[in-house]
Amino acid sequence: MRALNGQITLGLRGGLEIQLGVPIDLPLKIAIARGILPTLALPRAGGPDYLDITVPERPVAGRNPQPSG
């Protein structure tokens, strides 16, 4: 888990980052992530690098065009 500037990000072992944003409605955000995660391929299998749930009504999964490292 990483907290930077009030934004929470979780890093999963498979390489996916879950961006939760500000710590508001965390149970809702986590429930949404739990529903979406089983449908996503791992990043190394061509799946997304991140799952952004900062706006719970509009979750977004995608690939970071500039990986860190």
Q: Which residues of 16-29 are buried (b: 16+ CB within 10 A; e: fewer)?
A: bbbbbbeeeeeeeb
pLDDT tens track for 48-61: 999 999 999 999 99
17 three-class SS: strand
Whole-model pTM over 0.95: no
Cα(61)–Cα(36) distance, rounded to whole angstroms?
Answer: 9
pLDDT tens digits along 24-40: 999 999 999 999 999 99
Q: Where are the domains of the chain?
A: 2-59
Instruction: Please give the structure tokens belonging to residue 46.
Output: 């061509």
